[in-house]
Amino acid sequence: MRFTKASDLVPAGLVTAVALYLFMRLLYGELPPLPTFAGVTLLVLAVVEAVFGHVLRGRIRGSGGTRPTGRPLQPITAARALALAKASSLLGAIMLGAWLAVLAYVVPESARVDAARSDIPSAVIGALSAAVLIGAALWLESCCRTPDSPDDQRDQGARPTA
């Protein structure tokens, strides 16, 4: 399995942003107001993944993490963490595109539509939470690397020596 790159996430975010922006232009007047803290769920998920990544990294590196016995990490646990990280980074990209589309629509409309002005905080909180989720998911994914993974060896081989 290869690690996530920006080229994996950007298209999903862009497609979502364009589709949702067009939807907002057509049907914004029919929508209920956005809850101010609608995007906070993404932030909670990001915190959980960051903590999980920290614990996993310690276990993979052999420092013992939360298990003082130093037992090795089960491969299925690392695989599940990696799957969670990949899914979360994609979710974060999609939601970032969605919240940025909302922002792109409501900011210009806020001068003349009160509902658009009140939806700006929701969109900002959602966009920031989605961006943090992407970062936490990529962090969790990087924590799943073993110290002797082929990617690490290739990176070290590519560095010039002094």
Give tens-digit pLDDT for 8-51: 899 999 999 999 999 999 999 898 999 999 999 999 999 999 99
Does residue 118 form part of some domain?
yes
Does residue 121 form part of some domain?
yes
Report the amino acid identity of residue 62.
Answer: G
Do the beta carbons of residue 125 and residue 45 sit within 8 Å? Answer: no
Tell which residue, 69, 117, 97, 89, has the closest CA to residue 2: 89
Mean pLDDT, the chain, rounded, equals 86
Q: What is the predicted pLDDT for the residue at 161?
A: 42
Torsion of Cα atoms, 122 then 140 then 4 then 82, to 10°: -120
Does residue 87 form part of some domain?
yes
Domain, as residue range, for 74: 12-25+35-146
64 pLDDT higher than 50 = no
- List, as own/partner pairs, every contact residues 19-26 make where C-beta atoms lie below 8 angstroms and the sequence separation is at least 24, other chains included: 19/101, 20/97, 20/98, 20/101, 20/102, 21/101, 21/104, 21/105, 24/101, 24/102, 24/105, 24/106, 25/105
Phi and psi angles of residue 110, each rounded to the nearest 5 degrees, phi first: -65, -20
Phi and psi angles of residue 38, each rounded to the nearest 5 degrees, phi first: -60, -35
Question: pTM of the prediction?
Answer: 0.82
Q: What's the domain count of the chain?
A: 1
Q: Residue 151: which pLDDT band, with cuts at 50, 70 and 90?
A: low
pLDDT tens digits, 95-120: 999 999 999 999 999 989 899 999 99
Does residue 39 form part of some domain?
yes
